[in-house]
Amino acid sequence: MGTEEQGGQKTAGKVEQAKGKLGVMVVGLGAVATTMIAGVEAVRRGLAKPIGSLTQMGTIRLGKRTDNKSPLIKDFVPLADLNDLVFTGWDIFTDNVYESAAHAKVLDEKTLEQLKPYLETIKPLPAVFDQYYVKRLNGTHVKKGKNKRDLANQVKADIQAFKKTVDRVVMIWCASTEIFIAPAAVHQSIEAFEKGLDNDDIAIAPSQIYAYAALTEGVPFANGAPNLTVDTPAMIELSKRNAAPICGKDFKTGQTFMKTVLAPALKARMLGVSGWFSTNILGNRDGEVLDDPQSFKTKEESKLGSLDYIFQPELYPDLYKDLYHKIRINYYPPRGDDKEAWDNIDIFGWLGYPMQIKVNFLCRDSILAAPIALDLVLFLDLAKRAPSLRSLGIQEWLSFYLKSPQTAAGLYPEHDLFIQSMKLKNTLRHIMGADLITHLGLEYYD
């Protein structure tokens, strides 16, 4: 199929160039956020390489395999340059980014000292916070308002003030995991949501207030945590109406990243799975927050989804109907940000003979999450400048980065990392008017 039929440049429209400064508003200046900001500065100064970032290091094949044309993604699509990023953010503590990064202990002292003069300049704005939604935290650097509408207006005022200093703005949630909130009547339409803001509806958590403020200001919003936030009809509508792209939730970093690589492989070979036990120990503030059963439930729901969707037990009952999937996260302070994850996978093969796979991932949580946060920021800004993407609301092509992909109503989410990767790259080809790559390849044998 040719470019035009598949939606190439003619149908996709021309992507606007990334001119001027991109303002990045980060909700929650904790471990992930400070690792991202410090990392960007380290890369800008030539002190380190942006490893783990597809936007900075990835290439994209164009045309046939024999064409030998694989430019860097950042040379193919007009992304904001790292030198044009300007950071600000909110937190419930007054620590500047240097102090917060030092507290998080992800990056070593030597690196932080080199970056200190810059990191110290980024100071958090007072946050929208209520301990009801994050039981294990209590901060004082918090906005006061007569109701949730008032708080949303204060966030909007923060955005408007920041907009005066930069050319474009993106917001990303890198704050704590909130308690589990089920979608309610208040989430079903913009009108119901706005009424809920006036009435201080309990089903409106702080993350939704930030998201509402961003989307009403036409600012794309990414959600690094598993909170409900923009996964509601009201927010999807707002996103479309104001051409403010959104994507799924919860950075796909360690264990789920591995799961969405291994599970598709087992399924591709029609190997059965009877059990998948996943456990984690971690000792950072995120681990402390997740030690609260209500925040853990939000995370658990997000982590549980992937296997069911990948294995499709209704299509393959002989292989996956009885799969027992269990996830545990244990707060264990000595490990800090260095999470350790174990997976025990009970599989079975030919004639039902059982086998086991053990995965032991000694990872660094924020080192894995920071490049994902950066890529989401850069790609959401790109989506906002791409005529064929900006008013779609959900950017399903960014599922690649997220534990809980968001989809159009009635569509099941695609969790397979390699399908997600293909979808992402084909979306980039599409918006730039290049031929999509189907991997059919019959033409090489003509």
Ligand X SMILES: NC(=O)c1ccc[n+]([C@@H]2O[C@H](COP(=O)([O-])OP(=O)(O)OC[C@H]3O[C@@H](n4cnc5c(N)ncnc54)[C@H](O)[C@@H]3O)[C@@H](O)[C@H]2O)c1
Residues engaged in binding ligand X (CB under 6 A): 27-33, 90-93, 104, 127-129, 134, 137, 139, 174-177, 206, 224-225, 250-251, 253-254, 284-286, 365-366, 368-369
Q: Among 358, 379, 366, 405, which Cα is nearest to 258's?
A: 358
Q: How far is the CB of 335 from ligand X (least distance, A)?
A: 13
Identify which of residues 54 and 174 has a Cβ nearer to ligand X in the complex. Answer: 174
For residue 330, give every residue at least 6 positions away whose Cβ sits within 8 Å of its Cβ, in sequence order, or none.
279, 280, 281, 282
- Which of residues 303 and 430 has its CB atom nearest to ligand X in the complex? 303
CB nearer to ligand X: give 246 or 392.
246
How near is the Cβ of 256 to ligand X at its closest, in Å? 8
The residue (of 23 and 254) whose beta carbon lies closer to ligand X is 254
Nearer to ligand X, 91 or 231 (CB): 91
Residue 302 CB contacts under 8 Å (≥ 6 apart), including other chains:
226, 249, 250, 403, 404
Residues forming a β-bridge with 326: 277
Nearer to ligand X, 8 or 23 (CB): 23
Rounded to a whole number of angstroms, the minimum distance from the CB of residue 313 to ligand X is 26
- Please state whether 46 falls in left (phi above 0), alpha (psi between -120 and 50) or beta: left
Alpha carbons 176 and 414: distance in angstroms, whole number = 25
Q: Nearer to ligand X by C-beta: 35 or 426? A: 35
Residue pair 251/370 in contact (Cβ under 8 Å)? The answer is no
User: How many Å apart are CA 266 and CA 192, to the nearest integer?
Assistant: 44
Nearest-approach distance from CB 106 to ligand X, in angstroms: 9
CA 341 to the chain's CA centroid: 20
- Report the distance separating Cα 111 and Cα 34, nearest Å: 13
What are the Cα distances from residue 422, in Å, to 281, 385, 430, 440? 32, 21, 12, 13
Hey, how many other C-beta atoms are within 10 angstroms of the C-beta on 180?
Answer: 18
End-to-end CA, the chain: 17
Closest approach of ligand X to the CB of residue 195, in Å: 22
Helix ranges (H only) for 312-364 are 317-320
Of residues 85 and 370, the one with the C-beta less far from ligand X: 370
At position 10, the amino acid (one-letter code) is K
User: What would the DSSP string read from start to end of 194-258?
Assistant: HHHHHTT-TT--HHHHHHHHHHHTT--EEE-S---TT-SHHHHHHHHHTT--EEEEEE--SHHHH
Spatial strand order of the sheet with 168-173 comes to 125-126, 85-91, 22-27, 168-173, 221-223, 246-251, 402-404
Alpha-carbon distances of 433 from 51, 54, 68, 82, 117, rounded to whole Å = 28, 20, 18, 25, 43
Q: How far is the CB of 174 from ligand X (least distance, A)?
A: 5
Q: How far is the CB of 374 from ligand X (least distance, A)?
A: 13
Nearest distance from C-beta of residue 365 to ligand X, angstroms: 4
Q: Closest separation between CB of residue 400 and ligand X, Å?
A: 14
Closest residue to ligand X, judged by C-beta, is: 30
